[in-house]
Amino acid sequence: MQTVSPHWAYTLQLPPDPRAPGIARGTVRNVVQAHRLAELADTAELLASELVTNAYRHAPGPYALRIRALEPHRLRVGVWDSNPGIPPPFNGEPSPGVPATDSLSEHGRGPSRTGR
C-alpha cells in the first residue's frame, strides 16, 4: 500500500541582510532533505537563493521565503517582499525611468534599491 505524504509548507521571515541568501539556501536544503526529497535540493536551493537575493537587493524592508509541497516530488519555492512596485514586463519595451536590458543581462530587471 502506497502512503501519501501530507502537504506541508514552511515560511522563513528574513530581514534585509546580506546573509539572508545563505540562510535561505541552508534552510531549503535541510527542509527538502528532511522530507526525503534530496533529488530536488540543488534546484530548490538555487531558486531560493536567486529569489531571496532579488528581494534583498530590491525590497526596502523584510521579505519571506516559502517552500511548499505540491504533490509527491514537486515543490513550490517563492518569495514575498515588501516592495510595492511591480517590475515592468519583459517584452523588450522599456518602461519610463527603467533602463532597458537584454535577455542575457544579469541585472536591471527590477527597481533599484538606493545605497546598494
Task: Report the share of the chain in percent with pLDDT over 90.
Answer: 52
Instruction: Answer with the residue of higher pLDDT: 116 or 2.
Output: 2
pTM of the predicted model as reported, rounded to 2 decimal places: 0.70
Query: Residue 113: which pLDDT band, with cuts at 50, 70 and 90?
Result: very low
> Per residue in 45-69, pLDDT tens?
999 999 999 999 988 889 999 999 9
Q: Which of 57, 116, 60, 108 has its CA nearest to residue 87?
A: 108
Q: Which three cell numbers stand for residue 12?
A: 522563513
Contact 12, 27 (CB under 8 A): yes
Whether the predicted pLDDT of 116 surpasses 80: no
Instruction: Give the pLDDT of residue 41.
Output: 94
Every domain of the chain and the residues it spans: 9-81
Strand partners, 14: 63
Instruction: Give the pLDDT of residue 7.
Output: 83
CA-based angle 19:14:27, to the nearest 5? 70
Query: Residue 111: which pLDDT band, with cuts at 50, 70 and 90?
Result: very low
Contact 52, 90 (CB under 8 A): no
CA–CA separation, 85 and 71 (whole Å)? 32
